[in-house]
Structure 1
């Protein structure tokens, strides 16, 4: 059973019973208690439930429109999180972009922050699955915007799916700028949406260089779908909130880190 399917069943059970023990969920789903604890820890971080000692409580998401679909946070809500860190990351990333390049920017709020700094170019092509970013860039002189094809999501203001797969297979980018819901040595870059992860995986494959824009809060966390290993990354730009211990661990693993001031 896939992790996403298992977590949906956990939510359905909690909705009906309001609470559950780790042992109950383990027996119901036929997996180990360790697997259930991992699921509950992740789902608690995503505010999909409230983890307790030995189990979990149902968390009513109707007030904030959170659901288990990879759209847990509205785009404008995410844009307000760690705003100072995202600005610092984008300020460093913009120096990597040169005239006449073709770059990919994902639908993350960090990539959007970078996109807002793309001015003064004679010729620059930006491929993105971010609707808000595409709308913001379309009237900027010197920038050609290509929006990937797929399904429009209301919460994240992104386009998911690979309906535009033919387009992506024909285009090669100089740099893919991507962010993630989680980043770890073991799992690399991970996303809550398996559909967006598929898209990013394809865009990374078609890019000469991949630069991850990851604030310090995303380190040592993982979400459902991995889309890039640490070996796929040419550079990770993060903020000064990253601890020295974490920095050493990732650099020893071979990650090239650029830490903002």
Structure 2
């Protein structure tokens, strides 16, 4: 396991448990206690934890980097974060969609950027749980948009539903385009279980899956795994993404597309 991956997983654990021990981490990551101590020293120097005898405790910044920080911003504010990267990633991803295509796009600000990039396409059939995705695509040329029913989450501008309901079992699309909260060498993650469950169902409904993620998702922490890279065909990201993590993802058979020149 590469260092960036260990750091991400250490912080993800601390979001849940608030404290960790060197012994437990060394066992969990199949590495030496010396390596873990070095990791904790580096994370401590970044202000993300406080070292204790035999381990570490989380600082406020750990939670601020995860769900707590996410909650601080409304949808409109998040939409302006990394807007240039999101737009470039979306324009690139739109090239993999043809007129008349049958696709699924999840909710979120990167997904909305893709919807904007697809407005020049014609005769699309799009399934989404994103309200802003639907309203943006509704301005396209002869585009049919199907919004999944469910509970409205105003903060996410999305409908949320348990994937066990009848409608999900009948979903089938050529490709799903998914924005996510976090990325590691093991897979893609969401910050809450409802989102993860729903996006897992989206993956099951698609013949191919493309993940859209700017470089900040490689530094983020999220607890709930949607799926491993064996379930993903393509990752579209920007040139500031962690190169070690990208190489590890490539080695798992994923087509990694990096948008350059931002």
TM-score interval, normalised by the smaller of the two chains: 0.7 to 0.9
Instruction: Give the corresponding residue for 2:258.
Output: 259
Q: Distance in 2 between matches of 1:103 and 1:175?
A: 5
Aligned-partner SS, 2:159: strand
Match of 1:115 in 2: 115
1:209 deviates by 0.8
- CA displacement, residues 61-95 of structure 1 (integer Å, 9 cap, x when unaligned): 9xx9x966985642222212211111111111111
**Structure 1 unaligned blocks of 5 or more:** 11-21, 27-31
Q: 1:255 to 1:56 in 2, by over 3 A?
A: same
Report the aligned-residue RMSD: 3.4
Q: Distance in 1 between matches of 2:244 and 2:149?
A: 41
Closer, same or farther in 2 for the Cα pair 1:9/1:93, shift >3 Å? closer
How far apart in 2 are the matches of 1:208 and 1:74?
33
**Deviation of 1:53 (Å):** 3.8
Give the Å deviation of 1:216: 2.0
- Aligned residue for 1:133? 133
TM-score by length of 1: 0.73
Corresponding residue number in structure 1 for 2:182:
182
The residue that corresponds to 1:52 in the other structure is 50
Structure 2 gap ranges (5+): 1-11, 29-35
- 2:101–2:124: 8 Å Cα contact kept in structure 1? yes
CA distance in 2, matches of 1:120, 1:132: 17
Higher relative contact order, structure no. (Cα contacts within 8 Å, ≥ 6 residues apart): 2
Q: TM-score with structure 2 length normalisation?
A: 0.73
- Structure 1: how far apart are the matches of 2:232 and 2:75? 25
Alpha-carbon distance in structure 2 between the residues aligned to 1:223 and 1:243: 17
Q: Which residue in the other structure is 1:172 paired with?
A: 172
Instruction: Note closer, same or farther for the CA distance 1:164–1:253 as it changes in structure 2 (3 Å cut).
Output: closer
Q: Does 1:237 align with 2:236?
A: yes
Query: Are 2:196 and 2:226, in contact at CA under 8 Å, matched by a contact in 1?
Result: yes
The count of residues paired between Structure 1 and Structure 2 equals 225
1:54-203 equivalences under 5 Å are: 54=52, 55-56=57-58, 71=71, 73-162=73-162, 165-186=165-186, 188-203=187-202
**Using a 3 Å threshold, how does the CA distance of structure 1 residues 84 and 162 change in structure 2: closer, same or farther?**
same
Give the Å deviation of 1:106.
1.0
Alignment partners' CA distance in 1, 2:74 and 2:144? 26
- Shift in Å, 1:237: 0.7
